[in-house]
Structure 1
Amino acid sequence: MEDGPDTLPADVDAVRAALIEWYETDHRSYPWRETEDPYEILVSEVMSQQTQLDRVVEAWHAFLDEWPTAEALAEADRAAVVGFWTDHSLGYNNRAKYLHEAARQVRDEHDGEFPRTPDGLQELMGVGPYTANAVASFAFNNGDAVVDTNVKRVLYRAFSELHDKEEPPYQHIADELLPKGRSRVWNNAIMELGAVACGKTPRCDEAGCPWREWCDAYDTGDFTAPDVPTQPSFEGSRRQFRGRVVRALNEYGELPIDELGPRIRVDYSPDGEYGRAWLRSLLEDLSDEGMVQLTERDGAVIARLQR
């Protein structure tokens, strides 16, 4: 990307493609991800504020059964809407009042049609920049890059240049990464990455994070982030085991993977959680960096330091 900030990798198109492919191959299933109806998406976004998504599903279905369209909600008694909110423990009853008022605005001020841009959606009661952008993205594929806590965590860990800035330019970086005209899939994908693979406790290998090749945190083992202020211990980190691999191969010259495993961790078990698949992933990273050479001999993977 010629005009993008120097925080972005040179192969930014590969970064984009890897994330989208990861998301489209497998992601959590939520009903609002299967619709492009702006009303249904707005209801999900309002309900999801400070509420776990799995808890929202039942309430979302019940709400739409009661008021299936913005017009139906606009015609409803406000007390009934607030009562629904309370009965389903969705918290902050003013969100129910704002949602009801927004439906009336759509009916009375927009001829029953939702605005299609983030700026237009922000004119609706209780719809702030984040929610407006989410609805514009998921309903109309017409949004900017969404930046929530999960996305900030992903960007901070991936791009080390953000670490030295008092006010990291998250929105600018996110907007530069966003593929033009693909805000629907991109915003879903990067938020899914933050929730599934790059949470406060990262699950990089387990979740098959598509950004491991470019991620500074994955490379260094330092998963500190704005909402994860304490740096994880070096003990037991991926960085520690990378160092052990290099030391073992430097001592022994070359080793089959099942002989190398026990030398770098006592709980190595070929078919276990920390077994061949885990060690092979570690070795492939080192191979990609030109530090380790992998060959096959008599059906076994042999590792040696690259000379």
Structure 2
Amino acid sequence: MSTASRTAPAVLAAALLLAACGSQSVSPGGGAGGGPVRAEALCPSDFSRYGSPPSSEPSVRPSGTPTALPLPSVGGTAEDGVKITALYAWGPESGCAGVSYSADFELTNQQTQTATYTLTFGFLSASGGAVDNAEQTVEAVGQGRTVKGTVVMGEPVGNAPEVTGIEVIKIRSVPEAEAPSASGTCPKSGMRLYADQGDAAMGLRVVGLHLVNCGTGPLQLNGYPKLTIQDEDHHTVDGVHILQGTDQISTGLGGDGRPQPVVLRPGEAAVAQLAWRNTTQAGEPVNAPYVRVWATPAADPVTVAPELDLGTTGKLGVGPWRKDETHREPAPTTTDGP
């Protein structure tokens, strides 16, 4: 997609280093500035690639010696429960390769339930311009809890300016029970559901909803996923017509035609297209980041964040489930007892 949220960032997120508030942190210590500090964290060259699950076992070994950079204020920068506490430059002599800058942050869950967060950070030059962005996922933060993490910026391409600041660009959260899943442990439902990064051309937006049967038995689909659109505060957005079929938005998107029964064996997947236009005319534009999705009438909802910028069109097209012949996962294996 053309927006930052639908474009895989050039900077790739670091493996998370999380610690509950009040417990010993494994992130680099910091302050408002100063000389080199010793960082007790994963070597930044070991950071996870975009879309990879975060590390579940943070390292406590010293990994390198970065240089602390000043923040705009001694207390760090904060926005909607996210506080940046330190910023570091990693030079050639730091002891770690593949990274230029890193930042420590604290995230406080101000919601009423456990939530999974996706945070987008912007590394800034002295002029305030963006050098690059990094996206970070923080899983299962309990209500009222504060966790600490580290995000890194990889080596820039070309003659990029030096980083002198960092900001929180965007915060997205979904209830932990409704978090999308593209990999990892199979949910109790036996299915994973997630949205892809989508595509955009001349104001046309297309995002795929992907459903993977990670269970041990067949999964039957027939029809369209059920959708509810939500704003940034997770309130239901009214006044948007959810159309069955994407052909009412544009032809040739793969989301037209009558629904057909789909049976997914373990390891197989299905896809349904979302399509809309961001045309703006008279009226108030609708920008809604979240969509709650029910894969079947009996399924539990999953909340994805396709970042709907519907303009004033008031329309969202959804295609029927169809088998995704390009996707395969190994079927779950069982080990017989002695």
Do Structure 1 and Structure 2 share a fold, with TM-score over 0.5? no
Which structure dedicates a bigger proportion of its chain to helix?
1
Please identify the structure whose Cα radius of gyration is greater: 1
Which structure dedicates a bigger proportion of its chain to strand?
2
TM-score by length of 1: 0.27
